[in-house]
Amino acid sequence: MGSLGVITNPRSQKNKRGIEKLDAAIAGVPGARHAVLETVADIPEILADFARREIDTVAVAGGDGTIQAVLTALFGDRPYAQPPRLAVLPCGMTNMIAGDVGLRGSMSAGVAKLGRLLQSADEEEIARTTAERQILRLENARGRPPQYGMFFGGAAIYRAIIACRSKVHPYKVKADTAAAVTLAGLLADWLLRGRGARQGDAEASAGPGRGGPGRKVFSGDRIDVTFDNQPAEHLTSLVILATTLDRLVLGSRPFWDGGDGQFRFTSIAYPPERLLRYAGRVLYGGEDRKLPETSYLSRRANRVSLAMDCPFTLDGELFEPEPGCPVLLAADQQIRFVRV
């Protein structure tokens, strides 16, 4: 018989409406433990307590940032000899991780189904509902120990998050709608500003402070990237991303070209060649996408080194690179997600 521990972030977007139904669903699972965060700094001690109680399945009722904090505590502090199974409840604003490996249906229904599954002690059924994913390890975030998560984004992705939070999220629209509205607005800005304005952005990107939030979202960042100890490649990127997820917001899959490696990496150059024409293919094409290689780079990797100045995100949390040190990405850890 499996045991369940639930970590709830009451400040995650959907939980702000109240967690009474979630509380009731957890109370209906025999032996379940429920920890409601006062702050994300509580997570390491909560996980240590769950490990002492031999809780083998941890559900996270929070957004991507809460899950990122749980993964960092699990792999950084190692409270468990072997990581527990994770179950993700979509309680945040974007819920990109939950969209790929989370529980289906409402929060209370998901917890109830999860509880019944664990009480059944049917290991074959548990195995059938489990998805295994690699976890990104990120080193050299300024002033922080190694961080763990599932989606890394830099350059315009960082600036788009800032724009989305300030311009769209205050209206409390659904997460995918917010992403679509932000993307549409940014593309319109790109198209309407014209070539001269774009060239001005490119020239401005060579100056100091090029990752700052005051810059136009559509501008370039100079990044030296090294894949698996190969020679460095010098990029001027509009977008960089790395992920172990199969699908991102709006069901997109902006990665292609298969190959070997534990995670996906994609870069779109600045200025991108015929962005509007290729946007659908970049977001939703198959493994073999006919795209101009000078603008659109995607491959699998086991380790990536990024020498860059621009800020970045890991699962929606915002960081800056440690000055003088490359940002290092690897994915040599894995965890099991329960999906019911």
Domain match, 97 and 207 both? no
Query: Are 182 and 229 found together in one domain?
Result: yes
**181 & 110 share domain:** no
> Is residue 209, in this structure, part of any structural domain at all?
yes
Judge whether 113 lies within some domain. yes
Residue 196's domain is classified under what CATH number? Answer: 2.60.200
Range of the domain at 82: 4-135
| Spatial distance between the Cα atoms of 23 and 20, rounded to a whole number of angstroms | 5
Question: Of the residues 135, 166, 194, which one is the last residue of a structural domain?
Answer: 135
User: Is 45 within a domain?
Assistant: yes
Rounded-to-integer distance, Cα 269 and Cα 235, Å: 7
Of the three residues 111, 135, 159, the one that is the final residue of a domain is 135
Task: Please report whether residue 337 resides in a domain.
Answer: no
Q: Is the same domain home to 130 and 155?
A: no
- Same domain (yes/no): 70, 122: yes
Contact 320, 142 (CB under 8 A): yes
Kindly state whether residues 127 and 156 are assigned to the same domain: no
Give tens-digit pLDDT for 255-307. Answer: 998 788 999 999 999 988 988 899 899 999 998 999 999 999 999 999 999 99
Q: What is the pLDDT of residues 136-195, one digit of tens each?
A: 999 999 999 999 999 999 988 888 777 776 665 455 544 444 445 455 555 555 555 554
Q: Is 262 inside any structural domain? A: yes
User: Could you tell me if residue 332 is inside a domain?
Assistant: no
Condensed to tens digits (0 to 9), the pLDDT of residues 90-130 reads: 888 778 999 999 988 777 778 888 888 888 767 788 888 89
Do 91 and 131 fall into the same domain? yes
Amino acid letter, residue 41: A
Instruction: Say whether both 126 and 161 belong to one domain.
Output: no
Instruction: Say which CATH number the domain at 21 has.
Output: 3.40.50.10330
Domain shared by 56 and 158, yes or no: no
Residue type, 264: R
* pLDDT for 185: 55
Of 103, 135, 167, the one marking the end of a domain is 135
Contact 286, 134 (CB under 8 A): no
Residue 156 and residue 82 share a domain: no
Is residue 142 one of the residues assigned to a domain?
A: no
pTM of whole model > 0.75?
Answer: yes
In a domain, 281, yes or no: yes
User: How many domains in the chain?
Assistant: 2
Residues 234 and 262 in one domain: yes
Q: Quick one: three-class SS letters along 79-108?
A: CCCCCCEEEEEECCCCCHHHHHHCCCCCHH
Residue 38, amino acid: E
> CA 64 from chain center: how many Å?
6
Whether residues 227 and 122 fall in one domain? no
